[in-house]
Structure 1
Amino acid sequence: MKVLVLGGGVIGVSAAYFLARAGHEVEVVDRQAGPALETSFANAGEVSPGYSAPWAGPGVPVKAIKWMLMQHSPLVIWPLLDPAMWRWGAMMLDNCTARAYALNKSRMVPLAEYSRDVLKALRAETGIAYDDRAQGTLQLFRTQKQLDGIGGDVEVLKQYGVPFEVLDRDGFCAVEPALRRTQHKFVGALRLPKDETGDCFLFTNRLAEMARGLGVRFRFDTAITGIDRVGDRIERVRTSAGDLRADRFVLALGSHSPKLLAPLGIRIPVYPVKGYSITVPITDPAGAPESTIMDETHKVAVTRLGDRIRVGGTAELAGYSEALREPRRATLEHVVSDLFPDGGDVSKASFWCGLRPMTPDGTPVVGPTPIGNLLLATGHGTLGWTMACGTGRVIADLVSGRTPEIDVSGLGMDRYRGAWQG
């Protein structure tokens, strides 16, 4: 079967690889010059099933107000005249209940855990390397109130069988020795020892090369201008390189997915939430992180990627703007300098932003559509890297007519039926 994958980020390339491995003829089309040059390019580097949780939850609206009043705010909202943004925000508020949080997390965790297992198997089978480390994630708390408030999270971790450790200062310094220099700023930590890290850009490019070896064709520098539908089938995709046809189509265009779906009569609540990162060269390995540290106060992740430190965070609602705003850089520089003052040279950091494709319930949209030969793989938000390999396997199974190895009934767009009119 010929399958056309729209999108060359980590989700699209993962889907292409597993589709090709399943025996399909696969072609990938993307407007960029190569793989992973948009949202997959410089994310925080975390493969963190343990942190697979929706942003919407009990107490979040009140917290959001407090966050926006902070000097180094983890949340920024630009009041745009964009009805889609406000509808998306209203849907997110509707998900800020204990019941919705539990349901949404129950849909996210199995895909994230499965994806990590698929990634491990891929690494064992192929030897793919991407500055990967499997040394866990450490969530640091600056106040006793934060530490005392992890009871709910711990119960969820227990429910899903996710290993964890609650650590005092000696405990978190044992796994992250460089924190001994700044340990007095924190009262404790929650560690998820099974989480991993790695360079998503490097992974995607190496997986693309492996996909080429399986016969996948990549069309880069090719803009997608439209999709033509005839009845309940996609007939062709219009591009700057001409019309492309296939038996099945997989849409993996992140935040840009709704733009192409709307003319087809398909509306999904995926909206861009901008994230920022800086990449800092390591100057003192002993003063740098060993794995990933999450600063709970600023919602910023600090990750070691080879000879670099990746610092990622901030949620900015600004539509499709990719403007690099200096206050966001200041927040990232503040966090890494506060935690690891001797680890890297912040003056030589590169600055980046990407548009995370967020759903209001946190769960990605993976699976079939009302159009018989069109599948979706989008809406992964901050968890695209975490969920990529699992999503690719699920898509390959669905296209091949196989039942996926996990329950995907809650991942489809049908959960929004009647709730989203874009």
Structure 2
Amino acid sequence: MHIVVLGAGVVGTTTAWYLQRQGHQVTVVDRQSQAGLETSYANGGQVSVSHAEPWANPSAPLKVLKWLFRADAPLLFRPRWDPAQWRWALAFLRECTSARAAHNIRQMVNLGTYSRAQLQSLRDDLGLEYDALTKGILHFYTNREEFEGALEPTRIMQGLGCDRQVIDADRAIELEPALKPIRDRIAGATYTSEDESGDARKFTQQLAQKCAEAGVSFHYGTDILGFERAGDRILGVHTLRDGVHSTLRGDAYVLSLGSFSAPLARSIGLTLDIYPAKGYSITVPVNNPDAAFNVSLTDDEYKLVYSRLGDRLRVAGTAELNGYSRELNQTRCRAIVRRTAEIMPEAGHWDQAQFWTGLRPATPSNVPYIGKSHFANLYLNTGHGTLGWTHSCGSAAALADIVDGRRPEVDFSFSGL
């Protein structure tokens, strides 16, 4: 079967790999010149099963209200005259109950555990090199209330098989000596030894090369304009490349366009609750190797993640619900630099920070859409939010099974829109 995958980010590229491995002819379409140049380009770099507490939880509504007028807030909601934004916000509020949060944690832990194993196997099989570190992820808390609020989600994750250990400040410093400057401020921490980190862009581009060597065709520099449809089937995808309009046809199609999946889906009457959550990152050279972290870190209070990428430090996070603009907000950029320099002043050349922003495709529940749509030959693999790389290999392997009529190995509520 000829399958057209829309999107060459980490999710679209892994989807292409698993589909071709099962014998399909695969074509990937993306507007960029290479794979992994949008949301996968400079993300936080974590493969984090332990990052499974959804934004939508019982404490979220009060926090969002408190942060509403703070330009440097970890989660910033900027109201717009945008029906999609308000529909998303209302759905988000519905997900903020304890029962829904627990359900969504289960979904993300199950998918994340399966996906991490798939990624490890893929890395070993293909010899992929992408500054991977397999030293775990340490969540640290400098606010007692935030730490105590993390204990119940941690208990739920532990019950699902995620080995997220609750530890004290001394153990946190033992695991990551770079946190010594804030030893007296650490209220508590958790540690998941099986989680990982690395450069998602390098991973995506190396895997795209492996895909091409295996026969996958990539149509880069190609804008996707819309679908041609008849009844419950997609007949083709209208594209524009170098000023030339054409229609790309296949037997089946996979929508993996991140935040841009929702507007394209709306054009054929398919409503996806995906809204762009603009995230920021800084990348800086290591200054003092002895003061720089090696264990990947998560600063939950400020919604920041830290990954060591060879001789570079990547710090990423925050979320801004403000439409599709990718303009850098300098206040938010400076806030990341200020927090990281405060925690580890000697670790990096903080004055040399390279800033980046990307649109993470967030669903109200943080659970992605994976599965078959109500169109007979259109499949969904999108809406992964902050966990695109974490969930990419598992999502792709599961979707390939669904396309071939098999039940995926992972316990997950697959979409059937």
Per the shorter chain, which TM-score range? over 0.9
Contact 1:14 1:207 in 2 (8 A): yes
- 1:363-415, CA deviations, whole angstroms, 9 ceiling, x for partnerless residues? 1001001110100111100010100001111121122222211134x23054x
Structure 2 match to 1:412: 415
* Partners of 1:152 and 1:347 in 2: CA distance: 38
Superposed counterparts of 1:146-157, under 5 Å: 146-157=146-157
* Partners of 1:282 and 1:195 in 2: CA distance: 22
* Partners of 2:317 and 2:20 in 1: CA distance: 34
- 1:144-177, CA deviations, whole angstroms, 9 ceiling, x for partnerless residues? 3333333312321221121122222221111111
Superposed counterparts of 1:246-261, under 5 Å: 246-261=250-265
Structure 1 match to 2:26: 26
- 1:155-211, CA deviations, whole angstroms, 9 ceiling, x for partnerless residues? 212211211222222211111111123322322211111111010000000000111
* Partners of 1:407 and 1:71 in 2: CA distance: 39
Q: Which runs of structure 1 show a deviation greater than 6 angstroms over 4 or more consecutive aligned residues?
A: none
Unmatched tracts of structure 2, length 5 or more? none
Contact 2:279 2:318 in 1 (8 A): yes
Pick the aligned partner of 1:359 from 351, 363, 366. 363
Residue 147 to residue 106, structure 1, CA distance change in 2 (3 Å): closer
Structure 2 match to 1:172: 172
* Partners of 1:232 and 1:149 in 2: CA distance: 46
* Partners of 1:403 and 1:377 in 2: CA distance: 16
- 1:229-282, CA deviations, whole angstroms, 9 ceiling, x for partnerless residues? 111111010101421100110010011011111121111111111100010111
Structure 2 match to 1:111: 111
TM-score (norm 1): 0.95
| Secondary structure of the structure 2 residue equivalent to 1:227 | strand
Contact 1:107 1:411 in 2 (8 A): no
* Partners of 1:172 and 1:25 in 2: CA distance: 48
Superposed counterparts of 1:296-375, under 5 Å: 296-375=300-379
Pair 1:399 & 2:413 matched: no
* Partners of 1:335 and 1:280 in 2: CA distance: 14
Pair 1:207 & 2:207 matched: yes
Superposed counterparts of 1:38-187, under 5 Å: 38-68=38-68, 72-187=72-187
Contact 1:300 1:335 in 2 (8 A): no
Structure 2 match to 1:9: 9
Query: Following TM superposition, by how much is the alpha carbon of 1:106 offset from its aligned partner in structure 2, in angstroms?
Result: 2.0
* Partners of 2:134 and 2:191 in 1: CA distance: 13
* Partners of 2:357 and 2:223 in 1: CA distance: 21
In structure 1, give the amino acid aligned to 2:353.
A
The count of aligned residue pairs is: 413
Query: Following TM superposition, by how much is the alpha carbon of 1:215 offset from its aligned partner in structure 2, in angstroms?
Result: 0.3
Contact 2:10 2:204 in 1 (8 A): yes
In structure 2, give the amino acid aligned to 1:392.
A
| Secondary structure of the structure 2 residue equivalent to 1:104 | helix
Q: CA RMSD in A?
A: 1.4
Contact 1:237 1:244 in 2 (8 A): yes
Query: Following TM superposition, by how much is the alpha carbon of 1:301 offset from its aligned partner in structure 2, in angstroms?
Result: 1.1
* Partners of 1:258 and 1:137 in 2: CA distance: 32
Contact 1:278 1:311 in 2 (8 A): yes
- Identity between Structure 1 and Structure 2 (%): 42
Structure 2 match to 1:387: 391
In structure 1, give the amino acid aligned to 2:388.
G
Query: Following TM superposition, by how much is the alpha carbon of 1:70 offset from its aligned partner in structure 2, in angstroms?
Result: 5.7
Residue 145 to residue 59, structure 1, CA distance change in 2 (3 Å): closer
Structure 1 match to 2:293: 289
In structure 1, give the amino acid aligned to 2:372.
P
Unmatched tracts of structure 1, length 5 or more? 415-422
Structure 1 match to 2:277: 273
Residue 109 to residue 87, structure 1, CA distance change in 2 (3 Å): same
* Partners of 2:85 and 2:289 in 1: CA distance: 42
In structure 2, give the amino acid aligned to 1:153.
P
Contact 1:139 1:189 in 2 (8 A): yes
In structure 1, give the amino acid aligned to 2:234.
I
Between 1:155-164 and 1:325-334, the stretch displaced more is 155-164
In structure 1, give the amino acid aligned to 2:328.
L
Residue 366 to residue 190, structure 1, CA distance change in 2 (3 Å): same
Structure 2 match to 1:224: 224
Residue 245 to residue 82, structure 1, CA distance change in 2 (3 Å): same
* Partners of 1:49 and 1:395 in 2: CA distance: 19
Contact 2:88 2:275 in 1 (8 A): yes
* Partners of 2:398 and 2:183 in 1: CA distance: 42
Contact 2:5 2:16 in 1 (8 A): yes
| Secondary structure of the structure 1 residue equivalent to 2:357 | strand
Query: Following TM superposition, by how much is the alpha carbon of 1:89 offset from its aligned partner in structure 2, in angstroms?
Result: 0.1
Contact 1:107 1:363 in 2 (8 A): yes
Between 1:176-185 and 1:196-205, the stretch displaced more is 176-185
| Secondary structure of the structure 2 residue equivalent to 1:287 | coil
Contact 2:64 2:77 in 1 (8 A): no
TM-score (norm 2): 0.96
